[in-house]
Amino acid sequence: MTARDSYIELGPIRPPSEAQSLLIRIIRNCPWNQCEFCHTYKGERFSFRSVEEIKNDIDRVREIYDQIRKFSWSLGYGGEINREVLSQIYRQSTRYDPGWQSVIGWLYFGGTQVFLQDANALMVKTPELVEILQYLKDQFPFISRITSYGRARTLAKKTVEELKAYHQAGLSRIHIGMESGYDPLLEYMKKGVTAGEQIQAGKNVVASGISLCEYIMPGLGGTRWWREHAMETARVLNQINPHFIRFRTLYVRRDMPLFKKVERGEFERPSDDAIVREIRLFIETLDGIESTIVSDHILNLLEEVQGKLPEEKESMLAVIDRYLALPEEDRLQYRIGRRMGHYRSLEDLGDPSLGRQIRRVIEEIRPSDGSARPEKEIEKEICRLMENYI
């Protein structure tokens, strides 16, 4: 089975929680594109896509879907799109086509979720986005969830009625990169939004009935503003009460503008242990909300720190306290194991086979005379491991 005339334009990223989603590109790149901690769209021009272009992509997805159903009939499955059908199509494809493969993957995982790309699809005029959403649902009535990134400054200007129109047309969830609720830090990182706008945006989304996921960035305050970053971000979220709060721990890449500040000594990323303490203060400061905290990214040291507020707050703090109470050598072993992708919970420290592998790596990091390196040198080695996941 060949992939012909199936070009579908795809953007560069989507949230980890949208790994099973069909990607529909609404805008190209990021209209702001000035954040110091982001590398994704640097050097790229922003542009809108026309409604016609987007509908054409949806039509191509429909064509591929219909071809797959036809192929299912030929295999004797009566048009059913199951994993056996999709596996055979994947094996028989004669060339790699990103759009084609994207649709296969989407259907393989159920074909019910869609993510609208790129950085801020909700800046499209309301009638146009409603038209796109309605067209998508008309072509695929079985879609149960449509999500999108949204910039807080844009959403602060949208009326609740506009957002309700999106919701009625099928938009289920909005992902907002809050990063921080501390105004001096937002300005320093060139986020282009204030804490007040973050609050207004979040309240608008919640009032519309759309599920809201706010992303925060532990470590973004550096060693200078870590306390203010933790407490002010929590206070902003206390006023919003989003459905989800997701951690995305800071890692500074060389192609980020922030890296220049690191080189000049203006910014210092906290150690992993310091970031864990920052997260503890953040969770402690959350109050009066019913959000779910999620730690679903490899850059987050403690994946276990997740749960529903307020009932699981103490259990999340207990995980943090358990980690901080570990001997220094055990914490180092866990950090290395986590950055190598071996550890997912503190319980994994009890695996003797993994422990031997990780201790061998630690011995390679340390000088041959057995003396311990300074903490900053250990951090550099761990950062090199983290770079594999960006």
Q: What is the pLDDT of residues 144-172, one digit of tens each?
A: 999 999 999 999 999 999 999 999 999 99
CA distance 130 to 30: 21
> For position 5, what pLDDT does the model report?
52
Report residue 2's pLDDT band, with 50, 70 and 90 as the boundaries: very low
Is the pLDDT reported for residue 72 higher than 80? yes
CA distance 292 to 311: 10
Q: What is the mean predicted confidence (pLDDT) over 347-367?
A: 88
Is the pLDDT reported for residue 97 higher than 80? no
Q: What is the mean predicted confidence (pLDDT) over 209-232?
A: 98
- Whose CA is closest to 229, among 214, 217, 245, 240? 217
Measure CA 189 to chain center.
19
> For position 389, what pLDDT does the model report?
65
> For position 348, what pLDDT does the model report?
96
95 DSSP 8-state letter = S
Domain ranges of the chain: 1-142, 150-325, 327-390
Task: Please tell me whether residue 14 adopts helix, strand or coil conformation.
Answer: coil
> For position 386, what pLDDT does the model report?
77
> For position 376, what pLDDT does the model report?
60
348-355 long-range contacts, Cβ below 8 Å, gap at least 24? Answer: none
> For position 85, what pLDDT does the model report?
85
Q: What is the pLDDT of residues 20-37, one digit of tens each?
A: 999 999 999 999 999 999
Q: What is the pLDDT of residues 332-355, one digit of tens each?
A: 999 999 988 899 999 999 999 999
Q: What is the mean predicted confidence (pLDDT) over 302-315?
A: 98
Task: Specify whether the backbone of 77 is left (phi greater than 0), alpha (psi in -120 to 50) or beta.
Answer: alpha
> For position 4, what pLDDT does the model report?
46
Q: What is the pLDDT of residues 99-118, one digit of tens each?
A: 778 888 898 899 999 999 99
Average pLDDT, the chain: 92
CA distance 214 to 193: 14
**C-beta of residue 49 within 8 angstroms of C-beta of residue 28:** yes
Question: pTM for this structure?
Answer: 0.92
Mode of pairing for the β-strands spanning 171-179 and 211-216: parallel
Report residue 331's pLDDT band, with 50, 70 and 90 as the boundaries: very high
Of 178 and 94, the structure prediction assigns the larger pLDDT to 178
Q: What is the pLDDT of residues 236-291, one digit of tens each?
A: 999 999 999 999 999 999 999 999 999 999 999 998 999 999 999 999 999 999 99
Is the pLDDT reported for residue 380 higher than 80? no
CA distance 232 to 166: 30
The CATH number assigned to the domain with range 150-325 reads 3.20.20.70
> For position 369, what pLDDT does the model report?
56
Burial class (CB in 10 A: 0-12, 13-18, 19+), 364: exposed
CA distance 110 to 20: 8
Is the pLDDT reported for residue 1 higher than 90? no
C-alpha torsion sign, points 361, 362, 366, 369: negative
Residues across the chain: 390
User: In whole angstroms, how far apart are CA 357 and each of 12, 300, 334, 362?
Assistant: 34, 21, 12, 9
> For position 370, what pLDDT does the model report?
53
Is the pLDDT reported for residue 374 higher than 90? no
> For position 3, what pLDDT does the model report?
44
